[in-house]
């Protein structure tokens, strides 16, 4: 803990020195009425991480493979809780004779059991859970389940065969799901073809800097192999500002992204499938030099850097 706190403090100091700006995460204790819902969401989160979130799914072949993954994950969770509880109750009373191998095994089990229990408890009693997408906060517990599987395999030969069979089935189902691409995002994101079209457009218009919605900006920057730099912006939604004014993205940002550079062109990129953050140009930015289409993306070209028209926000 001390190493994490000191190391984190040093990293934070270095980032602030290079103008990386952080925002408070705002985590609190869950309301008493939310604990049961958070517990249900915890189980769903473990299933979601393993591709086995079958609640509310259909009954076709793919849905059944998802259910198989989910049942296996639930079996592991229940089995580990029973096994850890039994080991806790039957642990020898201290002091016990020291044995190096047993000490290493004990440390291993305690470490991963703590990861599983502490992560789960923190999740249930915090304000973090919103929906299954917050499953990323129990990833440590999910990894702990795999690390603790040997506890079940060591019971006897039958359990060992069951664990091997279960892991094999889980791996086969996971391979099938990966090939089938089971994750269906709620929205469509920019693809490599759009990024390539945008790169060619930017080269013709002599522009390499742009602004777009958060998800659009990140995807286009990476997919273009950094040939264009697209930074995130969003509608301010500040009562004292016009509703069309754009602000700097409020979670992850670097100050230099929003420092206007002289004598360069820039662009505002609107993805009609992602209008939440950036939906149309702000009239205060001035009249664009040109409006182009990049394989479905609407690109407004400006003869100057529009970073100067992006408000710092609150």
**Predicted local confidence at residue 63, as pLDDT:** 87
As beta bridge partners, residue 211 has 231, 268
Model confidence over 79-109: pLDDT tens digits? 999 999 998 888 777 766 778 888 888 899 9
DSSP secondary structure of 191-211: -HHHHHHHHHHHHHHT--EEE
Lowest mean pLDDT among 105-109, 136-140, 202-206, 238-242: 238-242
Model confidence over 275-311: pLDDT tens digits? 778 988 999 899 999 999 999 999 999 999 999 999 9
Q: How many residues does the chain have?
A: 314
Q: Output phi, psi for 212, to 5 deg.
A: -155, 180
Lowest mean pLDDT among 47-51, 138-142, 247-251: 247-251
**Predicted local confidence at residue 237, as pLDDT:** 80
Model confidence over 10-35: pLDDT tens digits? 998 888 887 776 666 678 899 999 99
Residue-wise over 183-196: b if at least 16 C-beta within 10 A, else e?
eeeeeeebeeebbb
Residues 212 and 225: their CA atoms lie apart, in Å, by: 17
Q: What are the angstrom distances between the C-alpha of 233 and each of 104, 246, 264?
A: 51, 6, 19
**Predicted local confidence at residue 196, as pLDDT:** 95
Residue 254 burial by CB count (10 A; 0-12/13-18/19+): exposed, middle or buried?
middle
Residues 87 and 106: their CA atoms lie apart, in Å, by: 11
Q: What are the angstrom distances between the C-alpha of 187 and each of 183, 271, 299?
A: 11, 11, 20
Mean predicted lDDT score pLDDT of the chain: 90
**Predicted local confidence at residue 186, as pLDDT:** 59
For residues 36-49, average pLDDT: 94
Query: Reading across the β-sheet that carries 297-302, which strands appear in turn?
Result: 246-248, 229-235, 209-212, 266-270, 297-302, 290-294
**Predicted local confidence at residue 111, as pLDDT:** 95
Lowest mean pLDDT among 191-200, 206-215, 235-244: 235-244
pTM: 0.68
**Predicted local confidence at residue 267, as pLDDT:** 96
Q: Which of 131, 132, 144, 121 is nearest to 73 (CA)?
A: 144
Residue 59 has pLDDT above 90, yes or no: no
CA atoms within 13 A of residue 76's CA, in its CB half-sphere: 30
Model confidence over 162-176: pLDDT tens digits? 999 999 999 999 999
Model confidence over 225-278: pLDDT tens digits? 999 999 999 998 887 888 889 999 887 788 889 999 999 999 999 998 887 789
**Predicted local confidence at residue 25, as pLDDT:** 65
Q: What are the angstrom distances between the C-alpha of 314 and each of 23, 43, 212, 311?
A: 12, 37, 20, 9
Residue 217 has pLDDT above 70, yes or no: yes
């Amino acid at each position: 803990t001390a190493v994490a706190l000191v190391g984190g403090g040093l990293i934070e100091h270095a980032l602030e020195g290079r103008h990386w700006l952080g925002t408070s995460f705002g985590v609190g204790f869950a309301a008493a009425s939310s604990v049961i819902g958070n517990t249900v969401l915890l189980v769903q989160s473990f299933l979601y991480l393993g591709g086995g979130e079958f609640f509310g799914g259909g009954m076709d072949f793919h849905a059944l493979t998802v259910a198989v993954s989910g049942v296996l994950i639930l079996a592991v969770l229940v089995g580990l809780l029973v096994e850890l509880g039994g080991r806790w109750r039957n642990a020898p009373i201290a002091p016990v004779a020291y044995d190096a191998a047993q000490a290493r095994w004990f440390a291993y089990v305690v470490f991963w059991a703590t990861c599983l229990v502490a992560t789960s408890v923190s999740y249930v009693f915090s304000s973090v859970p919103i929906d299954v997408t917050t499953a990323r906060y129990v990833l440590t517990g999910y990894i702990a389940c795999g690390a603790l599987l040997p506890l079940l395999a060591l019971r006897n030969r039958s359990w060992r065969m069951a664990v091997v069979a279960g892991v094999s089935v889980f791996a086969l189902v996971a391979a099938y799901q990966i090939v089938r691409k089971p994750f269906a995002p709620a929205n469509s994101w920019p693809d490599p073809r759009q990024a390539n079209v945008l790169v060619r457009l930017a080269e013709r218009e002599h522009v390499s800097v742009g602004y777009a919605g958060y998800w659009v900006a990140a995807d286009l920057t990476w997919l273009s192999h950094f040939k264009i730099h697209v930074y995130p912006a969003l509608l301010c939604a500040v009562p004292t500002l016009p509703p069309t004014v754009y602000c700097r993205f409020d979670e992850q940002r670097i100050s230099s992204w929003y420092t206007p550079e002289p004598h360069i062109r820039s662009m505002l990129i609107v993805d009609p499938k992602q209008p939440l953050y950036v939906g149309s140009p702000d009239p205060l930015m001035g009249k664009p030099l040109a409006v182009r289409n990049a394989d479905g993306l609407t690109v407004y070209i400006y003869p100057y850097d529009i970073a100067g028209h992006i408000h710092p926000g609150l």
